Amino acid sequence: MSAERLRATYRLHCASSAAPRRAEALALEQSIEMPVEAVTDERVLREVVARVAELAPQSDGSVLAHVDLSLESIGNDAGQLLNMLFGNSSLLDDVELVDLRIPLALAQRFNGPALGVAGLRRLSGVQGRALTCAALKPIGSTVGDLAKLASTFAGAGIDFIKDDHGWADQSSAPFRERVPACQRAIAQASSGRPTPCLYAPSVSGHLDEMRAQIRFAVEHGVRAVLIAPMIVGVSNFNALRREFPELALLAHPALAGVRIRPSLLLGKLFRLFGADAVIFPNHGGRFSFSRDECQAIASNLRSPSHGLHPALPVAAGGMSVDRVPEQVAEYGLDVMLLIGGSLLMARERLAERSREFVAAAASTVAV
Provide the β-strand partners of residue 132.
337
Answer for which of 57, 138, 196, 332 binds its own copies (CB under 8 A) is 138
Least distance to its own copies, CB of residue 44, Å:
4
Minimum CB separation from its own copies for residue 259, in Å? 5
Query: Is position 267 an interface residue for its own copies (rule: CB under 8 A)?
Result: no
How many Cα atoms within 13 Å fall on the side-chain side of residue 318?
A: 9
Nearest CB to its own copies, comparing residues 168 and 362: 168
Considering Cα of 298, then 300, then 303, then 304, what sign does the dihedral take?
negative
Output the smallest distance, CB 105 to its own copies, in A.
13
Q: Which is nearer to its own copies, 77 or 177 (CB)?
A: 77
Which residues within the stretch 4-63 sit at the binding site for its own copies (CB under 8 A)? 25, 29, 31-35, 37-41, 43-44, 47-49
* Closer residue to its own copies in complex, CB, 190/235: 235
Identify residues 150-189 at the interface with its own copies (CB under 8 A).
Answer: 164-166, 168-172
Q: Which is nearer to its own copies, 19 or 123 (CB)?
A: 19
Residues whose CB falls within 8 Å of the CB of residue 187, separated by 6 or more in sequence, listed in order: 197, 221
**Cβ–Cβ < 8 Å for 309, 116:** yes
Percent helix, strand and coil across the chain, each to the nearest 5: 45, 20, 35
Count CB-CB contacts under 10 A for residue 130: 25
Binding segment (CB under 8 A) for its own copies, from list 86-94, 212-220, 268-276, 305-313: 86-94
Q: Kindly tell me which residue out of 58, 88, 290, 303 binds its own copies, with binding defined by CB under 8 A.
A: 88
Q: How far is CA 130 from CA 73, 253, 279, 334, in A?
A: 40, 21, 14, 6
Answer yes or no whether residue 213 interacts with its own copies by CB under 8 A: no
HSE-up of residue 76 (Cα within 13 Å, Cβ side)? 4
Q: What is the contact mask toward its own copies in residues 224 to 253, using x (rule: CB under 8 A)?
A: ----x--xxxxxx-xx-------------x
CB neighbours of residue 216 within 10 Å: 16
Bridge-based pairing state of the strands 131-136 and 95-101: unpaired
Can you tell me which of 14, 139, 187, 212 binds its own copies, judged by CB under 8 A? 139
Q: Least Å distance between CB 47 and its own copies?
A: 7
Choose between 42 and 192: whose C-beta lies nearer to its own copies. 42
Nearer to its own copies, 118 or 344 (CB): 344
The C-alpha R_g of the chain, in whole angstroms, comes to 22
Least distance CB 10 / its own copies (angstroms)? 13
Nearest to 352, CA basis, from 171, 153, 167, 187: 153
Does position 258 interact with its own copies (CB under 8 A)? The reply is yes
Within residues 65-84, the interface with its own copies by CB under 8 A covers 70, 72-77, 79-80, 82-84
Largest CA distance in the chain: 73
Strands 51-57 and 198-200: unpaired
Judge whether 108 and 71 are in contact, CB under 8 Å: no
The residues, any chain, with a CB within 8 Å of residue 169's CB and separated by 6 or more, are 175, 204, 205
Q: Which is nearer to its own copies, 160 or 289 (CB)?
A: 289
Using CB under 8 A as the binding rule, the residues of this chain from 189 to 208 that contact its own copies are 204-208
Total of chain residues touching its own copies, rule CB under 8 A: 86
**Residues within window 296-315 making contact with its own copies, judged by CB under 8 A:** none
- Does the footprint of its own copies cover residue 340 (CB under 8 A)? yes
Question: Cβ 282 to its own copies, closest distance in Å?
Answer: 12
Residue 86 in contact with its own copies, rule: CB under 8 A: yes
